[in-house]
Amino acid sequence: MPALLHLSPEVESALHEGRPVVALESTIIAHGMPYPQNVETAHRVEQAVRDAGATPATCAVWKGMMRAGLTAAELETFGRLGPQIPKASRRDMAYLVSRGLTGATTVASTMIIAHAAGIRVFATGGIGGVHRGAAHTFDISADLQELAQTPVTVVCAGAKSILDLGLTLEYLETHGVPVVGYGTSEFPAFYTRKSGFNVDFRLDTPSEIAALIKAQEALGLKNGIVVTNPIPEVFEPDALLIEKVTLEALAAAEREGVKGKAITPYLLSYIEKTTGGMSLAANIELVLNNARLAAAIAVSILPH
Ligand code: PSU
Ligand code: MN
User: Given a cut of 90, is residue 302 above it in pLDDT?
Assistant: no
What pLDDT is stored for residue 161 in this prediction? 87
For residue 107, what are the contacts with CB-CB under 8 A and spacing of at least 6? 25, 27, 122, 124, 127, 128, 141, 143, 146, 154, 156
User: Given a cut of 70, is residue 192 above it in pLDDT?
Assistant: yes
Length in residues, the chain: 304
Nearest listed ligand to the Cα of residue 125: 1
Atom 1 of ligand 1 has which residue's CA nearest to it?
Answer: 126
CA distance 76 to 23: 18
Tell me the residue type at 245: V
Nearest listed ligand to the Cα of residue 91: 1
Distance, CA of 50 to chain centre: 18
**Secondary structure E strands in 85-204:** 87-88, 104-105, 121-123, 153-156, 179-182, 201-203
Tell me the residue type at 267: L
Q: Is 161 in the pocket of ligand 1 (CB under 6 A)?
A: no
Residue among 171, 72, 57, 165 at smallest CA distance from 116? 57
Q: Is 111 in the pocket of ligand 1 (CB under 6 A)?
A: no
Give the domains, in start order, of the chain with CATH numbers: 2-301 (3.40.1790.10)
Q: What are 152-178's pLDDT values in tens digits?
A: 999 999 999 899 999 999 999 999 999
User: Given a cut of 80, is residue 40 above it in pLDDT?
Assistant: yes
CA distance 136 to 94: 29
Share of the chain above pLDDT 70, in %: 100
Q: Name beta bridge partners: 163.
A: 131
Question: What is the pTM for the complete model shown?
Answer: 0.97
What pLDDT is stored for residue 304 in this prediction? 59
Q: How far is the CA of 262 from the centre of ligand 2 (A)?
A: 8
Q: How far is the CA of 238 from the centre of ligand 1 (A)?
A: 22
pLDDT, the chain, mean: 96
Nearest listed ligand to the Cα of residue 142: 1
Which active-site residues does the annotation give?
25, 160
Q: What are phi and psi of 105, to 5 degrees?
A: -85, 140
CA distance 271 to 267: 6
Q: Is 28 in the pocket of ligand 1 (CB under 6 A)?
A: yes
**Secondary structure E strands in 33-182:** 55-62, 65-68, 87-88, 104-105, 121-123, 153-156, 179-182
Atom 7 of ligand 1 has which residue's CA nearest to it?
Answer: 126
- Evaluate whether 163 touches 132 at the Cβ level (below 8 Å): yes
Residue among 138, 128, 123, 132 at smallest CA distance from 87? 128
Share of the chain above pLDDT 90, in %: 94
Q: What are 142-151's pLDDT values in tens digits?
A: 999 999 999 9
Q: Is 139 in the pocket of ligand 1 (CB under 6 A)?
A: no
Q: Is 141 in the pocket of ligand 1 (CB under 6 A)?
A: yes
Atom 10 of ligand 1 has which residue's CA nearest to it?
Answer: 106
User: Given a cut of 70, is residue 37 above it in pLDDT?
Assistant: yes
